Structure 1
């Protein structure tokens, strides 16, 4: 799907963006060009903390290569099941589009599979992906032509308030006040997070000791007008070969904390069996909001 802009707003003044040929325009003459790959950059320079925020080109490529191994397909499959179950609960007007946002979508792996699952189940679906990393959005837009991709920050989502049925935040940085604004009443926020044993074999090889696991209670979620709704978990083992292990290291923050000796030891491994342990926590927007 090419950029249609029907839910996008100007990051400078909040007014609605309209598409004119290959650009988006607001009523105050701010203009944002649509890249030839099909995404739009709505991240003003004042919202950036560095020249190129987010994942590097190398990290994005490593994640894309790793995800082709299907090692994380179980995570995606379970997320699809949860979203489909909630979409059937949320839809009351079948003529209105079902809107889903992947906040921190990376290279688009989860969103592309979510779009496929939703469009197989519902007639009118719009899926949006937002990430602060331009390299990630570029990769996502090139490979997935059915979703709309935007370079933007979760702290300042350039999307209309109260228009999203579901927001997914997978291994990202949730901004609960902003998410609550964008959700419809009774809309759902799905957090996908590492569980206690996630990658424990890898972490044991990197760190001299592991901190006790503690799930973040996120008190700011309640303050934002969200309520805890459901929780789920999946746990399985996956054998990684040398190439997959190298890509996994590049795409996680653990590699930056490993000593030179630990890195060399990991590079010499021909394979490693790892545990994939994922928590899914669902919040709902209070209808009074």
Structure 2
């Protein structure tokens, strides 16, 4: 068992004026005097009230708990393994590599990367707009930098990151471009046309026709690699089905009859269909 301590990312910026934050225990301060405390759980809240669109943005405590139960069961591990491969194949230069998960949720994917990173090559940052998600993440992995913040304003300097992950999240290409080093990579995970098809057939009376069309690559990036990952999942309890539903947008789009049909299920066989794209900053 190695006693190696992975590096913690230190190049944080003030979300109010963009100036560098310096750590003066237990707070982070910028030259303008703005101060951000480290919470007792170990995370830093870098989402000022004026940058919030609601009082409590992002996933609720219940949604975070559902996502954690579902992901920790291991059903999406093939996706996590695909992200690890994409990251390791795409990174360039010398370690340690600064890697930020933009929309990290309760931290399943950064934790998986940390477990795989036996050589301590990654300085991992998990960022999410939900304080409940980041609070849950920080309790489990103190060797990862956890931040409450927005993908629209990543609290890092220009060109500070070697990689940005955006896994089923809200991508902001211009901000990713700013934060990445030249040659850095953006790993995007998106749902494919058959993703959770069986669940969607139960929820909706009719499915929208998939309008598959070639997507343009964001300015400043080139598409370097794309991998489609497909596998089957079997859920054997109503509780696990309910957790999956609560962590998807379908919970809030479905009709009451559709939700009731799902609540009657005690088992469900599903397809998982995702696309992992690696885009390199020019």
> Superposed, which structure 2 residues align to 1:62-73 within 5 Å?
62-73=66-77
Unmatched segments (≥5 aa) in structure 1: none
Answer yes or no: is the 8 Å Cα contact 1:5–1:18 preserved in 2: no
Unmatched segments (≥5 aa) in structure 2: none
> Superposed, which structure 2 residues align to 1:1-289 within 5 Å?
6-87=10-91, 90-91=92-93, 93-94=94-95, 97-118=96-117, 120=118, 122-214=119-211, 219=216, 221-223=217-219, 225-241=220-236, 242-286=238-282
Instruction: Tell me how far apart the structure 2 counterparts of residues 267 and 175 of structure 1 sit (CA, whole Å).
Output: 35
Does the C-alpha gap of structure 1 residues 124 and 256 become closer, same or farther in structure 2, counting only changes over 3 Å? closer
Q: Displacement, 1:217?
A: 5.6
Instruction: Tell me how far apart the structure 2 counterparts of residues 260 and 11 of structure 1 sit (CA, whole Å).
Output: 40
Q: Displacement, 1:260?
A: 2.2
Q: Displacement, 1:124?
A: 4.2
Instruction: Tell me how far apart the structure 1 counterparts of residues 38 and 76 of structure 2 sit (CA, whole Å).
Output: 31
* Count of aligned residue pairs for this structure pair: 277
Does the C-alpha gap of structure 1 residues 283 and 17 become closer, same or farther in structure 2, counting only changes over 3 Å? same
Moved over 3 A (4+): 1-5, 214-219
Instruction: Tell me how far apart the structure 1 counterparts of residues 278 and 126 of structure 2 sit (CA, whole Å).
Output: 19
Instruction: Tell me how far apart the structure 2 counterparts of residues 132 and 217 of structure 1 sit (CA, whole Å).
Output: 30
Q: Displacement, 1:123?
A: 4.2
Answer yes or no: is the 8 Å Cα contact 1:2–1:38 preserved in 2: no
Query: For 1:230, what is the secondary structure of its paired residue?
Result: strand
Instruction: Tell me how far apart the structure 1 counterparts of residues 76 and 9 of structure 2 sit (CA, whole Å).
Output: 31
Answer yes or no: is the 8 Å Cα contact 1:10–1:26 preserved in 2: yes
Query: For 1:229, what is the secondary structure of its paired residue?
Result: strand
Answer yes or no: is the 8 Å Cα contact 1:2–1:145 preserved in 2: no
Query: For 1:232, what is the secondary structure of its paired residue?
Result: strand
Answer yes or no: is the 8 Å Cα contact 1:5–1:24 preserved in 2: no
Instruction: Tell me how far apart the structure 1 counterparts of residues 171 and 26 of structure 2 sit (CA, whole Å).
Output: 31
Answer yes or no: is the 8 Å Cα contact 2:195–2:273 preserved in 1: yes
Instruction: Tell me how far apart the structure 1 counterparts of residues 212 and 83 of structure 2 sit (CA, whole Å).
Output: 19
Does the C-alpha gap of structure 1 residues 5 and 170 become closer, same or farther in structure 2, counting only changes over 3 Å? closer
Does the C-alpha gap of structure 1 residues 32 and 151 become closer, same or farther in structure 2, counting only changes over 3 Å? same
Root-mean-square deviation (Å): 1.8
